[in-house]
Amino acid sequence: MKSIRRALPYGRQSIDAHDIKAVVRALKGPFLTQGPAVKAFEGAKYCVAVANGTAALHIVVAAVGLKKGHSGVTSPITFLASANALVYSGIEPLFADIDPQTVNISPKALSLAIRKDTKVIIPVHFAGRPARMKEIAAIAAKNKCFVIEDAAHAIGSRYPDGGRVGNCAYSAMTIFSFHPVKTITTGEGGAVMTNDVKFYDCLRRLRSHGVMRDPALNRKRGLGPWHYEMQELGFNYRMTDIQAALGLSQLNKIDRFIARRSKIVAKYNAAFKDIPWIRPVSVNDKFCAYHLYVVRVDFNRLGISRSAFMKRLLDKGVGTQVHYIPIYRQPFYRKNFGISPAGFLEANRYYDECVSLPLFPAMTDRDITKVISAVTGLA
C-alpha cells in the first residue's frame, strides 16, 4: 500500500489558492445551486451545464427523441458512459472499429456498422484528439443520423480547420466532462453545447425534472413567477454554484494547463522515439489538448505481461491505467446484446497493447524524468 500512496497517478486535478478562494466565495454567497455562477460558467449562448459528463450524455440522447427499435453507433474504446447513454433511452448500442493511428472511430468502419434503424452516431475524441468529424458528418447526413460528439477528453482541442471542439460545426450537440482528471475540473460536472435552440430548451428541461418556468414556453400564461409546468419526464442533473465557481476559476488557466500537457507529451515522445517496443499514440498533434498519454507496448518483445509491466512501474512510484477495456467485452453488453469481439480487429489489438502514463499539469520536471527513467529502465 505504501508504493500505491506515493506513486504518481495517471491523472490528477490541479487546484491552487485562486480556485479555493472562488469556492469559498460561492459557499459564502446566497446561492449554492441554481444561482448566477452556473449561468456565468455556461457562458456560451446555447450551453447547458449539468452534474457530470454521464448526465450530459444521457440528456443529449434523450433530447434527440428516438424510440425503442432504433440503434446508435459509438466507439468501443471509450468509457462505458458513451454506450450506456444509448441504453438508458432504449436504443441498441452498436460499435464501429477504430483507426489504429488515432484510436478514434474509423469512418470506414462506421459506414459498415450503420444499419437501417441507426439514428444516432456518438464519435469519441479519444485522449483529446478530434475524430475525423468532417467525414463522420458526411456519413451521418447520408444515413439521416444525428451526430453527438463525446468530447469529454477534448476540452480545448481544435479541429483541423482551426475551430474549437464544441462549436457543433459537425454535430447536433457536443458534451464535455469536468471530472478531476480532465483538462479543467468542477469536481464533478459536465456540459452540453448546441447551436439549436430547440435542443437547448429541451436540454434545460431534462436537466431539471422536465420542469419549465418560462411563461413564454408554458401552456398556461399570466399566472406569475410561482407557476411551473412539467411537460416531460426529466432528471435532477443540475450543476451547483460551488462546482461552477471552481469551473470559472479553472477556465482562467486552461491555456496554461494545455501548454504544460503539451510540453510533457513532447518530453515523453522524445524519450521514447527510438525504443522499439513502445509506441506513443499521440505524436505531433497540434490540434490535441492531450487529456491522456497512451503508449502501445509490444509486451511479447519486452518479455513481460502488461500486469507485470504496470506492477514494475508502480514499484518505482509510477502509476498507470488502461484506457479502455473495449465496451463489447463487458459482461453486461455481451449478455444483453450478444456482441462478439471478433468483429473488432483494431480495437482488440489496441487493447492488448495500451497503457496510460502519468499526464497532468502539476507534474514537475523531476516527475517527468522519473516516469521516463522507470519506463526505459524496463528493457
Cell of residue 372, nine digits: 521516463
- Residues recognised as catalytic: 182
The helix/strand count (H/E) of the chain reads as 15, 12
Taking the mean position of all CA atoms in its chain, how far away is CA 111? 23
Spatial CB neighbours of 81, under 8 Å, sequence gap ≥ 6: 53, 54, 57, 152
Cell of residue 221, nine digits: 400564461
Cα dihedral 153/118/108/347 (nearest 10): 50
Cell of residue 360, nine digits: 497532468
Determine the 3-state secondary structure of 248 from DSSP: helix
| Alpha carbon distance 116, 92 (integer Å) | 12
| Alpha carbon distance 92, 338 (integer Å) | 11
Determine whether 169 is exposed, middle or buried from the number of CB atoms within 10 Å of its CB (0-12, 13-18, 19+).
Answer: middle
Helices (H), 298-364: 299-302, 306-315, 331-337, 345-353
Determine the 3-state secondary structure of 348 from DSSP: helix
Cα dihedral 277/107/133/283 (nearest 10): 10
* CA neighbours closer than 13 Å in the CB half-sphere of residue 113: 31
- Torsional class of 238: left (φ above 0), alpha (ψ -120 to 50), beta (otherwise): beta
* CA neighbours closer than 13 Å in the CB half-sphere of residue 182: 26
DSSP conformation letters of 24-48: HHHHHSS-SBSSHHHHHHH-STTEE
Determine contact, residues 60/173, Cβ cutoff 8 Å. yes
